[in-house]
């Protein structure tokens, strides 16, 4: 596995936001956990509101905004999974 892995969703070359695949597993996990929990908290706040506006453009932009940290968290979890699999195979 390459040491620095670009996060997905960025089409720039060279990539400027990278995951250090050799970072300690607890650091990778804490970073993924933080990003996923932030998205979860925001979505829970919206879900439990009595009234939510239905402006399609605003909701679409908001969803795109939430996708960024969620995708980052998934990318980090993928790196963790690869590292754990390498440990099992090695």
Q: Is residue 52's pLDDT more than 70? A: no
Chain segment 10-43, per-residue pLDDT in tens? 778 888 899 999 999 999 999 999 999 999 999 8
Q: Is residue 54's pLDDT more than 70? A: no
* Bridge partners (DSSP) listed for residue 43: none
Rounded CA gap, 3 and 82, in Å? 12
The 10 Å CB-count burial string (b at 16+, else e) for 21-58 is: bebeeeebeebbeebbeebeeeeeeeeeeeeeeeeeee
């Amino acid at each position: 596995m390459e040491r620095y892995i670009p996060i997905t969703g960025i089409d720039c070359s060279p990539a400027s936001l990278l995951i250090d695949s050799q970072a300690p597993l607890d650091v990778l996990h804490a970073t993924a956990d933080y990003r996923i929990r932030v998205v979860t908290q925001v979505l829970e706040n919206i879900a439990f509101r009595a009234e939510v506006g239905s402006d399609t453009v605003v909701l679409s932009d908001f969803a795109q905004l939430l996708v960024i940290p969620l995708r980052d968290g998934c990318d980090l979890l993928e790196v963790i999974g690869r590292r754990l699999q390498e440990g099992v195979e090695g």
